[in-house]
A and B are shown apart, each in its own frame.
Chain A
């Protein structure tokens, strides 16, 4: 499994049923009008589900 994605040339992407390695990304939080962060481990700690929705770019459709 991919542990250190930034330095791993032979990337193996996740398969269904895999444990997702922890990651953090910077966010914009429209409800606060401010910047923030999303960390998978924090959402798991709060016993919440995560839905990730990737798209090619802002100012396009989803």
Chain B
């Protein structure tokens, strides 16, 4: 879909290799597994937990122009919904191709209802965003 997915933790690349080869659920992994042992990149994105010396659970979407468009961070042991991350990515891709369109919360994929912000939409979002 035109994106490079990189997972990042403070583990070494050797440990990434060992984990990927031994954990059955990671058998078909296609993404790059990044190692940020110094924590520098994690700090830049505000997801470095100094006390634990580890990354928090954080997801970021960066445009091809290098702009940070989306961030999600969870403290503690609550996992993320990958479907929501992919939905947001697809929505940003859609909006980037159709600059006047906006993707509302219920937008899931190409063909779903989009919004055109403007005077005509005021007070009528509920009719247009797929809620009713």
Contact = CB atoms under 8 A, between A and B. Distances in A.
A28 B59 CA distance: 19
B32 A53 contact: no
Interface string A23-62: 1011111110001101010011001111111111111011
Which of A19, A48, A49 is packed against the most chain B CB atoms within 10 Å? A49
B95 interface: no
Size category of the B interface is 35 or more
Contact of A13 (B31, B43, B59, B80): B43
Interface of A: 2, 5-6, 11, 13-23, 25-31, 35-36, 38, 40, 43-44, 47-59, 61-62
Interface of B: 1-11, 13-20, 23, 26, 29-36, 38, 40-47, 49, 52, 54-71, 79-80, 82, 85, 89, 92-93
Interface of B: prevailing SS: mixed
A49 B32 contact: no
Contact of A54 (B20, B57, B69, B93): B57
A53 B43 contact: no
A17 to B, nearest CB: 6
